[in-house]
Amino acid sequence: MNNSKIDLLVVGAGPAGLGAAIEAAKRGAKVLVVDENARPGGQLFKQIHKFFGSKEHMAGTRGFTIGEKLLQEAKEHGVMVMLNTLAWGIFKDNVVVVKKDDQSYSIQARKVVIATGATENGLSFKGCTKPGVITGGAAQTMVNIQRVTPGERILMVGTGNVGLIVSYQLMQAGADVVGIVEAAPTVGGYDVHANKVRKAGVPIYLGHTVVEALGANEVSGAVIAPVDCNFQPKKEEAFQVECDTICLAVGLSPRIDLALNAGCEPIFSPVLGGHMPWHDQRMRSLTDVYVAGDVAGIEEASTALEEGKLAGVAAADDLGLLGSEERDTIYQEIESRLNKLRSGLYGDKRRVAKLELMEKGCENHEQR
What is the structure's pLDDT at 300?
Answer: 85
Please say which residue of 213, 248, 283 terminates a domain: 248
pLDDT surpasses 60 at 81: yes
pTM for the predicted model, two decimal places = 0.89
Going by C-alpha positions, the residue among 336, 288, 347, 286 that lies closest to residue 310 is 336
Q: Are residues 148 and 200 in the same domain?
A: yes
Q: What is the mean pLDDT of residues 135-154?
A: 91
What 3-state class would DSSP assign to 188? coil
What is the structure's pLDDT at 367?
Answer: 42
What is the structure's pLDDT at 190?
Answer: 87
Residue 28 lies in a domain: yes
pLDDT surpasses 60 at 50: no
What is the structure's pLDDT at 368?
Answer: 42
Q: What is the mean pLDDT of residues 100-121?
A: 94
CA distance 95 to 146: 36
Going by C-alpha positions, the residue among 189, 299, 314 that lies closest to residue 254 is 299
Q: Report residue 345's pLDDT band, with 50, 70 and 90 as the boundaries.
A: confident
pLDDT surpasses 90 at 325: no
Cα-flanking dihedrals φ and ψ of residue 231, to 5°? 60, 25
Which range has the worst mean pLDDT, 172-181, 233-242, 356-365?
Answer: 356-365
What is the structure's pLDDT at 53?
Answer: 52
What are the pLDDT digits (tens) for 247-280? 999 999 999 999 999 999 999 999 999 999 999 9
What is the structure's pLDDT at 119?
Answer: 94
Overall size of the chain counted in residues = 368
Q: Are residues 164 and 97 in the same domain?
A: no
Q: Are residues 132 and 240 in the same domain?
A: yes
Q: Do 262 and 249 meet the contact criterion of CB atoms below 8 Å apart? A: no
Q: Are residues 16 and 83 in the same domain?
A: yes
CA distance 159 to 136: 11
Q: Are residues 235 and 134 in the same domain?
A: yes
* Domains identified in the chain, total number: 2
| Cα end-to-end span (Å), the chain | 38
Going by C-alpha positions, the residue among 337, 266, 342, 265 that lies closest to residue 299 is 342
Q: What is the mean pLDDT of residues 135-146?
A: 89
Task: Give me the CATH number covering residue 183.
Answer: 3.50.50.60
In sequence order, what are the beta bridge partners of 209?
225
Q: Are residues 114 and 126 in the same domain?
A: no
Q: Do 268 and 253 meet the contact criterion of CB atoms below 8 Å apart? A: no
* Cα-based torsion angle of the residue sequence 239, 245, 251, 253 in order, rounded to the nearest 10 degrees: 130
pLDDT surpasses 80 at 67: no
CA distance 225 to 232: 9
What is the structure's pLDDT at 62?
Answer: 62
What is the structure's pLDDT at 125?
Answer: 97
What is the structure's pLDDT at 210?
Answer: 98
Percent of the chain with pLDDT over 70: 90
In sequence order, what are the beta bridge partners of 106?
97
Q: Are residues 15 and 85 in the same domain?
A: yes
Going by C-alpha positions, the residue among 288, 313, 314 that lies closest to residue 94 is 288
What is the structure's pLDDT at 72?
Answer: 86
Q: Are residues 237 and 293 in the same domain?
A: no
Residue 2 lies in a domain: no
CA distance 169 to 120: 18
Rounded mean pLDDT of the chain?
A: 89
Which range has the worst mean pLDDT, 10-14, 25-29, 43-47, 144-148?
Answer: 43-47
What is the structure's pLDDT at 59?
Answer: 52
What 3-state class would DSSP assign to 205? strand
Please say which residue of 218, 248, 278 terminates a domain: 248
Q: Are residues 276 and 289 in the same domain?
A: yes
Q: Are residues 112 and 257 in the same domain?
A: yes
Q: Are residues 25 and 141 in the same domain?
A: no
| Domain of residue 338, residue span | 8-119+252-367
pLDDT surpasses 70 at 64: no
Q: Where are the alpha helices (DSSP H) in the chain?
A: 15-26, 63-76, 136-144, 161-172, 191-199, 257-262, 301-318, 324-341, 344-367
- DSSP string covering 36-71: SSSSSSGGGGG--SBP-S-GGGTTT-BHHHHHHHHH
Q: Cβ contacts of residue 53 below 8 Å, gap of 6+?
A: 59, 302, 340, 341
Q: What is the mean pLDDT of residues 168-174?
A: 93
* Cα-based torsion angle of the residue sequence 47, 267, 258, 272 in order, rounded to the nearest 10 degrees: -10
108, with CB counted inside 10 A (0-12, 13-18, 19+), is middle
CA distance 108 to 240: 56
